[in-house]
């Protein structure tokens, strides 16, 4: 990659081929010590299966608000983005409870490992709480309105119904937050967002939050799209199709969520009865002489099945349901992005119409209408790219989720099978042979 032009530090993603090798001598740019991150076993390997070919679009002026997507268009990511070519790894773990006079809350450790030039150091470790993640998400939505931002787990939990500090709740949330950051990390545009960078690196995030507006301009932050006032006549077919798909998808997911909850409920009721059932065999065993051991054996066996069932229900509650809910939130986010896109297109069409009505001699299209056209095209490109990525992720995630569900059920039956098989010899035992 010798001779490649040195890109500005914060101008967005670079082609991998354009990136100077960490060990290459560079005159002005300071690179940290060579660091090839080993594939983090905690990170999903699903990325390797992703098809990340992006639609080729015409390159647009880098000063335009949509610079991120124009660079995206130039970018050709490898099909096999495995651990070796990836250059940013983020993990959320180690939840800790903080008790202060005003409030009690949980913080999570956010660890970053990277070779990217945008980061001063190769490794970072900071502590963040939920409201920090929420802040990050809002900032991303503001600064990257053409992109789909991954969802966060729900902010408010009904007090009294859920224990915010229980191990299960905290763990479920941790996993969701981890997923949230990993999805941003995997995104070719969002992962280069400055707010994301600060979130991962700043010792004092609150100070940065207060700075707020000052840094907005540097990134080529787009002007906030004015919503309202423009109504789209008709959504283009492909986006209408996406909208319809999302509507049906949400419906089906909702149904699956209800079914899963119902199953858990029925399982728990079954468990209640089993818990009474097992001990009756034991009571009976107390009455008998020769049958005493076999009956005790059956009682113990049923007890083992109870434990296995408990584990299955717990797994489903803690691992299955949250992912369903997350995808429902994701659908909602995507629908909102679609609406924003509609707004942008509506604005463009309105302005275009206004120009056409003026009937000036000069066929030249005014610049602001041109800019609108750019915005529409870039938004469409971003959205399509994100949708494709989302579809892929969704397929991966659901494949993993449903296989996991099948696995848990298989494990449950295997545990019960072992229990029952082990008492057959006990039941067949003749007293004389003992």
Partner 1 sequence: MEDCLAKKMEITVSEAEKRTGRNAMNMQETYTAYLIETRAVEPQSEGQCAPVDSLWRRYSEFELLRTYLSVTYPHIVVPPLPEKRADFVWHKLSADNMDPDFVERRRIGLENFLLRVASHPVLCQDKIFYSFLTQEGGWREMVNETGFQIKADSRLKALNATFRVKNPDKRFTELKHYSDELQSVISHLLRVRARVADRLYGVYKVHGNYGRVFSEWSAIEKEMGDGLQSAGHHMDVYAASIDDILEEEEHYADQLKEYLFYAEALRAVCRKHELMQYDLEMAAQDLTSKKQQCEELATGTVRTFSLKGMTSKLFGQETPEQRETKVKILEEQIQEGEEQLKSKNLESRDFVKSAWADIERFKEQKNHDLKEALISYAVMQISMCKKGIQVWTNAKECFSKM
d(CA 204, CA 54): 37
Among 269, 314, 353, 368, the residue binding partner 1 under the rule CB under 8 A is 269
Whether the Cβ atoms of residue 13 and residue 192 lie closer than 8 Å to each other? yes
237 contact partners, CB below 8 Å, separation of at least 6: none
The token pair at 285 is 């065993």
The token pair at 273 is 């009865």
Question: Interface residues for partner 1 in 236-265 (CB under 8 A)?
Answer: 245, 248-249, 252, 255-256, 259, 262-263
Closer by beta carbon to partner 1, 92 or else 301: 301
Stretch that binds partner 1, among 35-43, 142-150, 274-282, 369-377 (CB under 8 A): 274-282
Q: Give min distance, CB of 308 to partner 1, in A.
A: 10
d(CA 299, CA 127): 49
Stretch that binds partner 1, among 10-18, 89-97, 105-113, 283-291 (CB under 8 A): 283-291
Q: Give min distance, CB of 272 to partner 1, in A.
A: 8
How many residues bind to partner 1 according to rule CB under 8 A? 50
Closer by beta carbon to partner 1, 225 or else 277: 277
d(CA 2, CA 180): 36
Q: Give min distance, CB of 252 to partner 1, in A.
A: 4
d(CA 18, CA 217): 25
| Phi, psi (rounded to 5 degrees) for 93 | -155, -170
Closer by beta carbon to partner 1, 197 or else 299: 299
Residue 165 binds partner 1, judged by CB under 8 A:
no
Closer by beta carbon to partner 1, 124 or else 390: 390
Closer by beta carbon to partner 1, 11 or else 392: 392
Closer by beta carbon to partner 1, 36 or else 283: 283
Whether the Cβ atoms of residue 337 and residue 151 lie closer than 8 Å to each other? no
Question: Interface residues for partner 1 in 371-410 (CB under 8 A)?
Answer: 395, 398-399, 402-403, 406-407, 409-410
Q: Give min distance, CB of 294 to partner 1, in A.
A: 5
Residue 413 binds partner 1, judged by CB under 8 A:
yes
Stretch that binds partner 1, among 10-18, 204-212, 293-301, 343-351 (CB under 8 A): 293-301
Among 287, 357, 432, 434, the residue binding partner 1 under the rule CB under 8 A is 287
10 Å Cβ neighbour count for 81? Answer: 18
CA 339 to mean position of chain CA atoms = 21
Q: Give the sign of the dihedral formed by CA 137, CA 209, CA 196, CA 221.
A: positive
Closer by beta carbon to partner 1, 204 or else 276: 276
Residue 49 binds partner 1, judged by CB under 8 A:
no
| Residue 128 three-state SS | strand
Q: What is the DSSP string of 18-47?
A: TSPPTTS--SS---PSP--PPPPTTS-GGG
Closer by beta carbon to partner 1, 1 or else 402: 402
Q: What is the DSSP string of 311-327?
A: HHHHHIIIIIHHHHHHH
309 contact partners, CB below 8 Å, separation of at least 6: 267, 270, 271, 274, 412
d(CA 410, CA 416): 10
Binding residues for partner 1, rule: CB under 8 A, are 245, 248-249, 252, 255-256, 259, 262-263, 266-267, 269-270, 272-274, 276-277, 280-281, 283-284, 287-288, 290-291, 294-295, 298, 301, 395, 398-399, 402-403, 406-407, 409-410, 412-414, 416-417, 420-421, 423-424, 427-428
């Amino acid at each position: 990659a010798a001779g490649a032009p040195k890109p500005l530090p914060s101008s967005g993603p670079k082609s991998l081929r354009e990136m100077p090798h960490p060990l290459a001598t560079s005159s002005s740019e300071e690179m940290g010590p060579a660091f090839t991150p080993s594939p983090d076993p905690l990170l999903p390997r699903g990325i390797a299966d992703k098809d990340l070919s992006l639609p080729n679009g015409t390159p647009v002026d880098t000063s335009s608000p949509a610079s991120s997507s124009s660079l995206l268009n130039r970018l050709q990511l490898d099909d096999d983005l495995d651990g070796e070519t990836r250059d940013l790894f983020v993990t959320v773990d180690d939840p800790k409870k903080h008790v202060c006079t005003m409030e009690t809350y949980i913080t999570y450790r956010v660890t970053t490992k990277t070779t990217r030039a945008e980061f001063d150091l190769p490794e970072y470790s900071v502590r963040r709480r939920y409201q920090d993640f929420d802040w990050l998400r809002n900032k991303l939505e503001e600064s990257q309105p053409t992109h789909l931002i991954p969802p966060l787990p729900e902010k408010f939990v009904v007090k009294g119904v859920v224990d915010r500090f229980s191990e299960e709740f905290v763990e479920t949330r941790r996993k969701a937050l981890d997923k949230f950051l990993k999805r941003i990390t995997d995104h070719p545009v969002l992962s280069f967002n400055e707010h994301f960078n600060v979130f991962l690196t700043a010792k004092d995030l609150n100070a940065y939050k207060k700075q707020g507006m000052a840094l907005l301009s540097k990134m080529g932050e787009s002007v906030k799209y004015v919503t309202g006032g423009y109504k789209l006549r008709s959504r283009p077919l492909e986006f209408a199709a996406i909208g319809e798909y999302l509507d049906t998808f949400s419906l089906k997911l909702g149904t699956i969520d209800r079914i899963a909850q119902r199953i858990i409920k029925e399982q728990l009721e079954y468990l209640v009865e089993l818990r009474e059932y097992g001990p009756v065999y034991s009571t009976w065993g107390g009455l008998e002489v020769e049958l005493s051991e076999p009956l005790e054996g059956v009682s113990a066996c049923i007890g083992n099945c109870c434990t296995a069932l408990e584990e299955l229900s717990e797994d489903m509650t803690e691992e299955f349901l949250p992912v369903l809910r997350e995808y429902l939130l994701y659908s909602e986010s995507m629908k909102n992005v679609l609406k924003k896109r509609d707004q942008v297109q509506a604005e463009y069409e309105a302005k275009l119409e206004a120009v056409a009505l003026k009937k000036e001699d000069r066929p030249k299209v005014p610049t602001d209408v041109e800019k609108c056209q750019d915005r529409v095209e870039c938004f469409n490109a971003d959205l399509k790219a994100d949708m494709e990525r989302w579809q892929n992720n969704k397929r991966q995630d659901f494949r993993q989720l449903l296989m996991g569900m099948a696995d848990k059920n298989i494990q449950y039956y295997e545990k019960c099978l072992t229990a029952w098989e082990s008492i057959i010899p006990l039941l067949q035992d003749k007293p004389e042979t003992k």
